Each structure stands twice: as C-alpha cells, then as structure tokens.
Amino acid sequence: MLMVNFRVVVSDPKDGKAYQLELDETGSKMFLGRAIGDTIDGAVIGLDGYNLLITGGTDVNGFPMRPDIPGSFKKKVLLTRGVGYREKERGKRYRKMVCGNTISESISQINTKVTSYGSKPLAEYFGEQEKE
C-alpha cells in the first residue's frame, strides 16, 4: 500500500488569503477519487462548518491538473489557453504535459476554495502569525 500525503491549500475569497496544511494518510484517503469541481466537507481536514471546492492541484513532478481532461493520468495535449499554458506568441499552440482532473496517489498538492464558512475564522484554525 502506498502512503499518500497531500498538501492542501485553502483559499479564502473573502480576505484574499491562502492557508496550507499537510494531511496524513487518514485525511488523504478522503480526497482520493475526487475530481476538480467536487465539494468536500471541511470537517474532514479539521475545518468544522466549512465547505471546500476543489479547484486544481499539481502532481509530484509539478505538472498541473486540468479540469477538461478526465481521469488521473498524465497526458500530452495541444494547448492554446488555460491551465498549464503560458502564451509566448499570439496564436501559437504548444504541446504540454498535464494531469487529468481526478485526484490520485501521484498528486502532491490540492488547491481548494472556501464556498461556505463556519463559525470560527480560518486564521484561528491555522494560527496565523502577523508579518512584520
């Protein structure tokens, strides 16, 4: 059995801040098989009362997940815009390696966005330190 540990980035659209947390194997199992666009309960990762929308992620090699590619495999695709594409010249298309939209053991980072809030603010859960 492969040990899976994810880094989850929780973005708060209200205050424009993002928070990171590392999940152990038990918390990571809840994300396996989920796809971009799925909503999960925040209590799974310790955020009681919050709902999180999966917006993307990257695999262990840094290849981004794309919402329009089904499955959990890597694939070379011809891109003209969107995730994994940076336009160098107008109208050019590039063949790039990207991951599918389903979370598997090869994913290392999962990006999420808060869709409904709990009673406590996110800063209390993550113990935010003030920057000087």
In a domain, 87, yes or no: yes
Report d(CA 11, CA 56) in Å as an integer: 12
In a domain, 126, yes or no: no
Tens digit of each residue's pLDDT (9 = 90 or more) over 81-106? 888 888 888 888 889 999 999 999 99
Tens digit of each residue's pLDDT (9 = 90 or more) over 24-35? 887 788 888 999
Report d(CA 124, CA 49) in Å as an integer: 13
CB 76 within 8 A of CB 132: no
The tokens for 108 are 């290392």
Number of independent structural domains in the chain: 1
Report d(CA 28, CA 106) in Å as an integer: 12
Torsion region of 38: left, alpha or beta (phi above 0 gives left; psi -120 to 50 gives alpha): beta
In a domain, 127, yes or no: no
CB 105 within 8 A of CB 36: no
In a domain, 130, yes or no: no
Tens digit of each residue's pLDDT (9 = 90 or more) over 32-91? 899 999 999 988 888 889 999 999 999 999 999 999 989 888 888 888 888 888 888 888
Domain encompassing residue 18: 7-120
In a domain, 131, yes or no: no
